[in-house]
Structure 1
Amino acid sequence: MTPSTHLDGARVLAWAWSDLPFGHVADAHGTAPIAIHGLAVCRYGDEAQVYRFSCDARWETVQDDVYASENEAREQLPAQYRAVAAAWNTP
């Protein structure tokens, strides 16, 4: 499943999707786990830094992390997102 060109107002630079979850994160209440099916590296405007968004099955952003470069964001996946190997795509 392909994301839109923008997530949370940031332009998508690269994305990865898996029908099987990459991993799970706790919901806002710390109880029910949310399956992460989409990963996206995005940039807001002309900012130097990029964000890696962790998304649910509808490409809704569940969590984000800030990185200095697109390569860092792709390569530094936390252990919780390694259940399935990420195959990165560009829009």
Structure 2
Amino acid sequence: MTPPTHLDGARVLAWAWSDLPFGHVADEHGAAPVAIHGLAVCRYGDEARVYRFSCDSRWETVQDEVYAGEDEARGQLPAQYRAVAAAWKQI
């Protein structure tokens, strides 16, 4: 499933999608873990750093992490997101 052009106001640069979850993250309210189906590397405006967003099945952002560059953001997936290999697509 293709992501929107922007997530949380940041432009999507690269993305990966899996029908089977990449992994799960704990809900901030203590509810059941949220399945992560979408990963996106994004940039706000002309900032040098990028963000990797972890998204649910509707491309809603569940978690984010900041990185110095795109390669770092794509390459440093936490162990919890390795249930399925991410096949990144550039925009």
* Equivalent-residue separation in structure 2 for 1:4 and 1:31 (angstroms): 27
| TM-score in terms of structure 2 length | 0.98
What residue is the counterpart of 1:32 in the other structure? 32
Runs (5+) with no aligned partner, structure 2: none
Structure 2 CA distance, aligned partners of 1:64 and 1:32?
19
- Report the counterpart of residue 48 of structure 2 in structure 1: 48
Runs of 4 or more, structure 1, over 3 Å off, are none
What is the one-letter code of the residue matched to 2:43? R
Aligned length: 91
Answering whether residue 3 of structure 2 is matched by residue 3 of structure 1, we say yes
CA distance in 1 between counterparts of 2:13 and 2:83 reads: 23
Residue 19 of structure 1 corresponds to: 19
- Give the aligned residue type for 1:20: L
- Number of the residue aligned with 1:58: 58
TM-score (norm. length: structure 1) = 0.98
Structure 1: runs of 5 or more not aligned: none
**Counterpart Cα distance in 2 of 1:31 and 1:8:** 22
Residue 84 of structure 1: CA displacement?
A: 0.1
RMSD: 0.6
2: CA distance, partners of 1:82 / 1:23: 7
Measure how far apart 1:31 and its partner are. Answer: 3.1
> In structure 1, how many angstroms separate the alpha carbons of the residues matched to 2:73 and 2:90?
14
Deviates more, 1:23-32 or 1:41-50: 23-32
Instruction: Supply the AA of the counterpart residue of 1:18.
Output: S
The DSSP-based 3-state class of the residue aligned with 2:90 is: coil
Among the aligned pairs, what percent are the same residue?
A: 86
